[in-house]
């Protein structure tokens, strides 16, 4: 998420929708977490790279990111400088 938060949620928590579905909530968006930046379907052996708008970058194994429910806010994985935000993520 925009302010350095991340979470993992099992795919089994997402119901299948057909045409006319109204969507499924995947994260609790608050001023603390910021907007959702990206979402990926991953395995636990993967690593996450996160890049901030001001050039800060982190690399973290996904097994360190806690698994939570769909409506949870997540856990902080990146400490950002004031005025910075997560610009994007890549899973390797």
In this structure, the number of other CB atoms found within 10 A of the CB of residue 4 comes to: 22
pLDDT value, residue 75? 85
Cβ atoms of 56 and 48 within 8 Å: the answer is no
Would strands 75-76 and 5-6 be described as parallel, antiparallel, or unpaired? antiparallel
Residue with tokens 């429910």: 69
Question: How much is the pLDDT for 49?
Answer: 92
Q: Give the pLDDT confidence of 21-65 residue by residue, as tens digits.
A: 787 888 888 899 899 899 888 877 889 999 999 999 999 888 888
CA dist., res. 72 & res. 6, Å (int): 10
């Amino acid at each position: 998420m925009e302010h350095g938060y991340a979470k993992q949620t099992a795919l089994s928590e997402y119901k299948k929708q057909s045409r006319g579905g109204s969507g499924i909530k995947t994260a609790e968006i608050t001023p603390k977490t910021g907007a959702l930046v990206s979402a990926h379907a991953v395995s636990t052996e993967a690593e996450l790279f996160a890049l901030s708008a001001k050039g800060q970058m982190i690399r973290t194994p996904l097994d360190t990111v806690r698994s939570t429910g769909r409506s949870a806010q997540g856990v902080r994985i990146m400490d950002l400088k004031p005025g910075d935000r997560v610009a994007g993520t890549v899973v390797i």
